[in-house]
C-alpha cells in the first residue's frame, strides 16, 4: 500500500517536473527567436551604416561639408521645426511682427 502511494507521488512529481521543463524549453525557444530577430536587425543596420549614401548623409549633416559647387544653407532656429508648406510661405516681416510685441501688451496678457 505504501509503495503504491509513493509510486503515485513520484509520478505526480515527475509530471510537474516535465511541465516545468516544457515551460523552460518554450521560454528558451522564444528567447532564441528574439535574439535571431535582433541579430538580423543589427546585420541590416550594419549594412546600412556601411553604405555610401549613409556615409554621405552623415558627412553632410554632422560635419557640414558640401561637394564642390554646392552651397551650405543654414536656416534660423525658428524655421527648423516648421513644416515645408510654412517654410515656402515664410516672410521675415511675420517673424518681426511676433518679436515686436509692446511691453504693456505682454504685461496685459500675463495678468488678464
Distance between CA 83 and CA 73 in Å, rounded?
Answer: 17
62 and 81 belong to one structural domain: no
What pLDDT is attached to residue 91? 58
**pLDDT tens track for 57-82:** 888 888 888 888 888 877 776 666 66
Rg of the chain over CA atoms, in angstroms? 34
**pLDDT tens track for 24-67:** 999 999 999 999 999 999 988 888 888 888 888 888 888 888 88
Q: How many domains does the chain have?
A: 2
Owning domain of residue 107: 77-112
36 and 59 belong to one structural domain: yes
What pLDDT is attached to residue 94? 52
98 and 68 belong to one structural domain: no
pTM of the model: 0.43
Distance between CA 35 and CA 3 in Å, rounded?
Answer: 47
Q: How confident is the model at residue 19 (pLDDT cuts 50, 70, 90)?
A: very high
Amino acid at each position: 500500500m505504501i509503495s503504491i502511494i509513493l509510486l503515485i507521488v513520484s509520478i505526480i512529481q515527475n509530471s510537474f517536473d516535465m511541465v516545468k521543463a516544457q515551460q523552460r524549453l518554450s521560454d528558451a525557444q522564444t528567447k532564441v527567436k528574439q535574439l535571431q530577430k535582433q541579430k538580423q536587425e543589427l546585420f541590416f543596420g550594419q549594412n546600412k551604416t556601411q553604405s555610401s549614401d549613409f556615409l554621405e548623409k552623415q558627412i553632410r549633416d554632422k560635419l557640414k561639408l558640401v561637394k564642390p559647387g554646392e552651397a551650405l544653407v543654414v536656416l534660423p532656429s525658428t524655421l527648423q521645426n516648421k513644416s515645408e508648406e510654412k517654410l515656402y510661405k515664410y516672410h521675415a516681416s511675420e517673424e518681426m511682427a511676433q518679436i515686436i510685441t509692446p511691453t504693456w501688451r505682454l504685461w496685459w496678457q500675463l495678468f488678464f
